[in-house]
Amino acid sequence: MEPPRAVWESSSEDVTRPLLPTHGDLLAPSTTDGRRSRSCCSCSGLRALLGNKYLAVASGPLACAVICATVNFGGRASARNMLGVLAWVFLWWITDAVPLGVASMAPLFLFPAFGIASADAVAKSYMDDVISLVLGSFILALAIEHYSIHRRLALNITSVFCGDPVRPRLLLLGICGTTFFISMWIHNTPCAVMMMPVATGILQRFPRDAAGPDAREIQRFSKAVVLGVVYAAAVGGMTTLTGTGVNIILVGMWSTYFPEQRPITFSSWMSFALPIGIIMFLALWTTLCLMFCSNNTARALSAYLDRSHLRRELSLLGPMAFAEKMVLAVFGSLIVLWMTRSLTDDIPGWAVLFDGKVGDGTVTILMATLLFIIPSGKNDGEKLMDWNKCRRLQWNIVLLLGAGFAIADGFKASGLTDILSEGLGFLRGAPALAIAPVACLFSGVITEFTSDDATTTLVLPLLAELGTSIGVHPLLLMVPGAIGAQLSYLLPTGSPGNVVGFGTGYISIKDMVVAGMPLKITGIAVLTALLPTLGSLVFGMDQKV
C-alpha cells in the first residue's frame, strides 16, 4: 500500500532518530534482574528494527534470492533474474523501505549486477523525450504556483458559478470544473494540492461543530466539495499526457515495445481521452449532487457564503502583474505547440519542418527555458524563474518514470516477455471486447493498494505481451490497463491526491467508497464503449502489429 506522500513528496528520514538503540536506551530498562534487562534490550532492538524499516529493506533482496534459487525457466537465467529484480523493486515500492526515488534507481545497479543489461543501456532509459516532457511540465507548474496563477484562476471561475443567491450545485460545478481544467495541464497531485486550499478556504466560512438540520446540510456539501476536488483532479489528469505519470509511462512503453508503430502523441491521446474525461466529469458532478446536495442545501449555505466573499479574496490578489501574464503566455504557447506538432496524416503539423526529429519534450524544455530568460519586471536582472525556485522539482517521479522504462526494456532484453507470451497462449481466441474491461478492472483493483505509476509499470508489460499472444492490437489492452490504473477512487492511500482530500478531515473512507465506486464503474463502462470505436480511429488499432 502506498504511503500517504510516497509519490508527490519523497519520504525523508528523521535525522533526530538514531538508526540503532543508543547506549542510554539500553540502560534505561535495566533492573536488578539481568534476564529482564536482556528482555527489555531485545524488545528495544526489535522496535528499532521495525521502526527503521530494516525488515522492509530486507524483503526486496530476500524475495529476489528466493526467486533466483527456486524458479527455473528452462535455463534462461536472465529471465529468471529479471523476475527476481522486479520483485525486489516492487517490494521496495509498496513498503516504502527506502524513498521512492531511491527505490526507482535500483535498476541502475541491479540490471548490470544480474546480467540483464549493461550500465549504459539501463541508464539511457532514465532520460528520453518523455522524461524531458515531465521535467519541463514540473518547471512550468512551479512557475504557475509561485505566481499564484492557479488561485487567481480558481477564484475567477468560482465567483462566476457561485450565484446570487447561492446555488450549491452550480458552485460545485465551478470548483470541480476549475480543478478538472487545471489538472489537464499539470500533474493531478499538485493540482489537488493547489486547489484544496481554495476549496477549504470557502468551506472555512461554514461552522463544523454546529448541530441541527442546517449543520448536516453544510457537512454534506463540504464532503461534496472535497471529494469533487480530489476526483476532478484525477479525471482531468487522465485527459492529457502531462496530467499524470501513468499516461507518460504508457507512451514510453508503447514506443519501447513497438517502435515501428504509430506513436501516441499529445494530440492523439487528448482526442481519445478528453471525451472519456468529460463523460466521467459529468458523472462525478451528477453523483455528488445526488448524494450530497438536497433542496435545503442552498438555504443552509446562504447564511455563510455569497459571491462577494469570492470577489473579496480575488481583490486581495490585486491586478495581474507582468510576470503572471508572461507565464500564462509561455504556458499558452506550449499548449498550442503540443496540439499542433502532429495533426493528421494528410495535414502534418509543424514538426515536419524539422524532419520529425522533435518531440513533445523538445518544446516543453524550450518553453521552460524561456522562463529563465524572460525578465519578471520586478527587480533588475530578475527572471520569471531561477533555479532556487526549482528546488521542489519532483525528482522521485522522474526517477520512477525512468525505472518504468528500464523495466520495460529489461522485460525484452531478458527474454521474460517471450516466456509470458508462451504462458498466455491459452487465451488465444478469447473475445477482445471481453478482455479489455477485464484488463481495466485488473489494474483498477491493484491501483487501490499501490501507486498509479507503479501499477502501470508492472501491468503494461504483461498486457503488451498478452495482446501479441492472443492476436489483438496491444493498445486494446494497454490503454485499459493505463486508464484502469488511474481509477484509484476508493481508499485514501490509492493516490496522493486522495490523501490530500482525506487529510482535510471533511471526508471519511466510507464517503470515498460511496462516491468513488459509481465513478469507477462509469470509467470502465465508458472505456469499454469508446476504445473499439473512437480508440480504433485515433490509434489505428485496425492495423496489424
Take residue 278 and report the three cell numbers written for it.
468529460
User: 123 pLDDT exceeds 70?
Assistant: yes
The answer to whether residue 109 scores a pLDDT higher than 90 is yes
Task: Look at residue 449 and tell me whether its pLDDT is greater than 70.
Answer: no
Beta carbons within 10 angstroms of residue 434's beta carbon: 9
Mean pLDDT of 352-379: 88
374 Rama sector, left if φ>0, alpha if ψ -120 to 50, beta otherwise: beta
What mean pLDDT comes out for the span 244-256? 86
Mean predicted confidence (pLDDT) in 321-347: 82
Is it true that the peptide bond before 3 is cis, omega within 30 degrees of 0? no
Instruction: Give per-residue pLDDT as tens, 457-476.
Output: 778 887 887 777 777 788 88
C-alpha cell read off for 37:
534487562
**How far is it, in rounded angstroms, from Cα 394 to Cα 140?**
12
Strand partners, 383: 375
Task: Return the higher-pLDDT residue of 299 and 109.
Answer: 109
Spatial CB neighbours of 78, under 8 Å, sequence gap ≥ 6: 114, 115, 116, 413, 414, 415
Strands (E) located in 44-139: none
Residue 21 above 50 pLDDT? no
Nearest to 264 by CA among 240, 244, 293: 240
pLDDT at 45: 54
Q: What is the pLDDT of residues 262-304, one digit of tens each?
A: 888 888 899 999 999 999 999 999 999 999 988 888 788 777 7
Burial status of residue 43 (CB atoms within 10 A of its CB: 0-12, 13-18, 19 or more)? exposed
* pLDDT at 178 exceeding the cut of 50: yes
Cβ atoms of 70 and 64 within 8 Å: the answer is: no
Task: Please give the residue that has the higher pLDDT: either 396 or 250.
Answer: 250
What residues does 221 pair with on adjacent strands?
none
User: Cβ neighbours of residue 147 under 8 Å, at least 6 residues apart?
Assistant: 321, 323, 324, 327
Q: What's residue 29's pLDDT?
A: 44
pLDDT-derived band at 430, boundaries 50, 70, 90: low
Query: For 139-159, what is each residue's pLDDT tens digit?
Result: 887 888 888 887 787 677 777
pLDDT of 232 reads 94
**pLDDT at position 424, please?**
57
* Whole-angstrom distance, CA of residue 485 vs CA of residue 89: 18
Distance CA 195, CA 328 (A): 18
Interatomic CA distance for residues 469 and 449, integer angstroms: 28
pLDDT score for 180: 93
Q: What is the mean pLDDT of residues 37-41?
A: 50
Q: Residue 94: its pLDDT value, please?
A: 76
Residue 298's pLDDT is what?
79
What long-range pairs does 318-324 form, CB within 8 A, spacing at least 24?
320/152, 321/147, 321/377, 321/378, 322/376, 322/377, 323/147, 323/376, 323/377, 323/378, 323/384, 324/147, 324/148, 324/149, 324/152
Q: Which residues is 375 bridged to in the sheet?
A: 383
65 or 132: whose pLDDT is higher?
Answer: 65
**Long-range contacts of range 118-121, CB-CB < 8 Å, 24 or more positions apart?**
121/409, 121/413
Measure CA of the first residue to CA of the last residue in the chain; give whole Å. 36
Question: pLDDT value at position 352?
Answer: 84
